Amino acid sequence: MKRVLIASPVRQKPAILKEFLWSLERLETTGLSVSYAFVDDAEESEGNELLRQFAEKYPEVRLFPGEGQERGAGQPCPEQPGYFCDETTHHWNIDLINKVARYKDRFLRLAREEGYDFLFLVDSDLILHPKTLVHLVSLGKDIVSEVFWTKWFPDLPPLPQVWVADDYRLWVARRGEELDQDEILRRSADFLSMLRRPGTYRVGGLGACTLLSRRALEMGVSFAELYNVSLLGEDRHFCIRAVALGLELFADTHYPPYHIYRESDLAGVAEYKRQNFPSEGRPAASPAARPHRARGSRITLAMLVRNEAGRYLRRVLGQARKYVDAAVILDDASTDDTVEVCRTSLRGIPLELISNPEPGFTNEYALRKQLWDLAVSTDPDWILALDADEVFEDCAVLDLPFLAANQAAEVYAFRLFDMWDEEHYREDEWWNAHQRLWAVMARYLPDFRYEWQKTRLHCGRLPSNLGELKVVPSVLRLKHLGWMKPADRLAKFDRYKRLDPQGAYGVPEQYLSILDPKPNLVPWREKE
């Protein structure tokens, strides 16, 4: 089990600190052993008390006293203004910056000397998404920050706490390259647009919500001031040292925290919690109570697997990782390497993988509903329900993100071709699924009441009442590979005869036709 030290210098208003600690308590820590360290530099007794209460609830918490107190918030000293926040920005001086650098270096030493696998340095005015920590650890990066967006000044648009280079340069430029203002604006827009897409990207500067690996700690990273660099801010000095040591800096954008930069930002806390903490008492709503809420364009793959390691799973996931933003996989008690294939094939993509202790394949409805509920718990935009033996034609890599960006669509339906070998699909009286449209990708609408066909076989991969929504037919085609091998066809024939001997859920004639020695096959033509 990996050991993680979560650490933060705390000098925060109680209402903001309370939300930060609330989110720490809800961080997912599966496979991790978590400890905490805080430097208590708070001025208000209520803030000190919040930290003490947190330490009483969790035994692995250490509180260190701050070096000294500055004047109260909003009361700067004319000769040497102390740190304070107002509704414009945060105000610092060089002595305070160096003090924070010493606090952070103390955390670095503590994590290094006590053999932690990771140090998670996080500012105390953030509300963290519950999946932040496990996701950052899963990336395998030495230094990676989760990106959040803030209006640094009221008249500015929201900007990230990561940057490309120098003090806070947001555009890419070759050394010595001269750019006019239009080109600077265009490249800045490209960088910001990239950060709005879920992914993990190399950057030149970061901070405030950063995971450091054991390797980075042992290489000697530090927040101490570099005397020959004029850039202001301990995070900038840290980033310069890290890159000089041969480390790379990465920014991840899958689970943005909420930044309470000003007290007025507390007004947005409830909405952030509603969207990202579905278990925290989100009220159920009748479909008629209010209109559907517009959603984003992230695609979450939902897949049910059982003993798929030796079949088509690597091929299917190898294509899917090119267009999905996250994946939810339900493993039905596989006895082979299916789980490992899923993890390796989707490495670098947020993955929720649950394994049932006992197989439930005799009740398809229960499994499909379990998978749907798992996918819904991740608060997805789109749920793409694929089987482990289905692939789209190659153009899906471009087409699916385009489809997901259509705000008018709520369900996409595709034609499904039963491939009998790599070059042919079957077409006859019993095998004509490709002549109909099948709902495969659905936008998740929290206000819609989803219903299921409760049958043990052939219940459908998605809820049965999606026809009530805006269904959009797509020309993109889906290939079902599960019939291509004679051994697979025989296994499916045996399964259907065993589970549905009377044809209660399917058509007996179609079951028998599976073994037809001379089926009608049509050549497959891949679209350009």
Question: Do residue 267 and residue 328 come from a single domain?
Answer: no
| Residues 221/222/225/229 CA torsion (nearest 10 deg) | 20
Question: Do residue 21 and residue 68 come from a single domain?
Answer: yes
Question: Do residue 305 and residue 268 come from a single domain?
Answer: no
Q: What confidence tens digit (pLDDT) does each residue in 425-454 have? A: 999 988 888 999 999 999 999 989 999 988
Q: Residue 29: which of 58, 53, 54, 62 has the closest Cα?
A: 58
By three-state DSSP, how is residue 424 classified?
A: strand
Q: Residues 326, 378: contact at Cβ < 8 Å?
A: yes
The model's pTM is 0.54
Residue 397 is predicted with a pLDDT of 80
Give the span between the Cα atoms of 145 and 140, in whole angstroms. 12
Q: What confidence tens digit (pLDDT) does each residue in 82-121 have? A: 444 555 455 557 878 888 999 999 999 999 999 999 999 9
Q: Which residues span the domain enclosing 354?
A: 299-523
Please give the biggest Cα pair distance in the chain. Answer: 93
Question: Do residue 417 and residue 500 come from a single domain?
Answer: yes
Question: Do residue 241 and residue 125 come from a single domain?
Answer: yes
Strand pairing category for 382-385 and 299-305: parallel
Question: Do residue 253 and residue 363 come from a single domain?
Answer: no
Residue 274 is predicted with a pLDDT of 85
Question: Do residue 258 and residue 306 come from a single domain?
Answer: no
Distance, C-alpha 352 to centroid of its chain = 9
Which domain-ending residue is among 273, 288, 309? Answer: 273
Number of domains in the chain: 2
Residue 206 is predicted with a pLDDT of 96
Residue 70 is predicted with a pLDDT of 42
Residue 45 is predicted with a pLDDT of 55
Average pLDDT across each block of 10 residues of the chain; the chain has 528 residues. List them in order: 93 90 93 93 69 88 78 37 50 77 95 96 95 94 95 80 93 90 87 87 96 97 90 91 96 94 89 78 34 63 95 95 93 94 93 90 87 94 96 86 86 94 92 91 93 83 92 93 88 81 77 87 83
Question: Do residue 257 and residue 397 come from a single domain?
Answer: no
Question: Do residue 495 and residue 425 come from a single domain?
Answer: yes
Question: Is 378 a domain residue?
Answer: yes
Q: Residues 4, 107: contact at Cβ < 8 Å?
A: no
Question: Do residue 258 and residue 307 come from a single domain?
Answer: no
Question: Do residue 456 and residue 496 come from a single domain?
Answer: yes
DSSP state letter for 163: B
Residue 47 is predicted with a pLDDT of 56
CATH number for the domain spanning 212: value is 3.90.550.10
Question: Do residue 257 and residue 173 come from a single domain?
Answer: yes
Q: Residues 191, 164: contact at Cβ < 8 Å?
A: yes
